[in-house]
Amino acid sequence: MNSENPILSIITPTWNPDMDSFQKTAESVLSAIRPDWEWVIMVHNSAPEVTEMIRKLTGDRENIRILEKHDDTHSPSVPRNEGIRRARGKYIYLLDHDDVIEKGFLETAVERMEQENCDILIGRCEKKLNEEGLYEVPMVLDFPETDQECVQVPDDPDIKGRLLYGAPVMLACKVIRRELLIINGIFFDDDIMLAEDFLFTLRCFCRTKKICVMPKLTAYTYVQHEGSLLQRMMGEDSFPVETYTEPVRRTVKLALENNISPSHYVWIMMGMFTVIYQKSSMSPEKKRQMMTEIQQYIPLLKFDGRRKPKSWE
């Protein structure tokens, strides 16, 4: 298999990145990439010198494609979607420009996806905070207990809803069959900025019957740092209330339309909104509107989301 027909496309959207962080990303990809993989770097609305710096970091390799997109949007979903459309791999892996690949995950994941013929493969996620006082994203780090190396998730709406709680929604925890996305028109909503990965993941879950989990294989370490968009949204007053509430409305609506319980997702978003209410410099009126919106979903809660499920049986 050559670079014109790769088995895996690593897609990295970037916009005027901190080059020290991007260098770590590049080092992790360059140490992992194989001849039958490609790395698609989507440079979005960035200065011309950014592309040149990235080119110098990544070197002149046939299976690294540095592409540019310039438009009037500011959403990270736009370059992600462009990367999905322009990728050539059988499978895709979405890696942000300040993240790193966990050694050995992709090679094992692709091999297992070929063996199991699954559409989505999910690995474990770890997390750490780079600074004190940051908003800590609530997520379950462990999957239900099992001795198996690879588990097929039952095609059950309630269990798919359970997967919306925690690590399985993280983009860098998953390898996805590209055909699943293209045939079903599954892309990121480019007009939302918060929790877009939940909505994207739910769309994937709604369109596939075969999801596999490797509960012992670490896919990704989520490093939370002060400069991220999420941390900004936790503390600033510049974002309208709809920035926070619209993703919740869309995700809950899609879940209910597909008979999938949104309980686990609502638990996470209630925690996030509570932190914003307590710590953000958002105006009192905005806080009131935001909490009123999230509280309407309380009747949908059906479980104690803080307890890790023991099995998928």
**pLDDT per residue as tens digits for the range 180-217:** 999 999 999 999 888 899 999 999 999 998 999 998 88
- The phi and psi torsions of 120 (rounded to 5 degrees) equal -135, 135
Q: What confidence score (pLDDT) does residue 27 get?
A: 93
Q: What confidence score (pLDDT) does residue 53 get?
A: 93
How many Cα atoms are found within 13 Å in the side-chain-facing hemisphere of 31? 12
| Across 132-146, 162-176, 243-257, least confident range | 132-146
Taking each helix axis as running N to C, give the angle between helix 241-257 and helix 284-295, from 0 to 180 degrees, rounded to the nearest 10: 0
Highest mean pLDDT among 65-74, 164-173, 178-187, 298-307: 178-187
How many Cα atoms are found within 13 Å in the side-chain-facing hemisphere of 111? 8
Q: Which residue has the tokens 């490797």?
A: 214
| Dihedral, CA of residue 147, residue 149, residue 150 and residue 154, to nearest 10 | 10
Six token digits for residue 67:
């592409």
Q: pLDDT class for 304, splitting at 50, 70, 90? A: very low
Which CATH number fits the domain 8-225, given the four candidates 1.10.3720.10, 3.50.50.60, 3.90.550.10, 3.20.20.150?
3.90.550.10
Q: What confidence score (pLDDT) does residue 157 get?
A: 83
Six token digits for residue 90:
């059988």
- H/E run at residue 22: helix 19-32
Six token digits for residue 238:
């510049």
More confident residue, 98 or 106: 106
d(CA 168, CA 171): 8
d(CA 14, CA 280): 27
Q: What is the DSSP letter of 65?
A: E
Q: pLDDT class for 133, splitting at 50, 70, 90? A: low
Which distant-in-sequence residues (6+ apart) come within 8 Å of 107 by Cβ?
Answer: 32, 34
- The phi and psi torsions of 32 (rounded to 5 degrees) equal -105, -30
Query: Residue 37 in contact with residue 115, Cβ under 8 Å?
Result: no
Residue type, 53: M
Which distant-in-sequence residues (6+ apart) come within 8 Å of 108 by Cβ?
Answer: 214, 217
Q: pLDDT class for 59, splitting at 50, 70, 90? A: confident
Helical segments of the chain, H only: 19-32, 48-58, 77-86, 105-116, 157-162, 178-184, 196-207, 229-235, 241-257, 263-279, 284-295
- The phi and psi torsions of 240 (rounded to 5 degrees) equal -70, 160
226 pLDDT higher than 80: no
Average pLDDT over residues 135-157: 70
d(CA 164, CA 266): 9
d(CA 257, CA 252): 9
Q: What confidence score (pLDDT) does residue 78 get?
A: 93
Instruction: Find, among 180, 89, 167, the residue nearest to 123 by Cα.
Output: 167
Q: What confidence score (pLDDT) does residue 215 get?
A: 84
The pLDDT mean for the chain works out to: 84
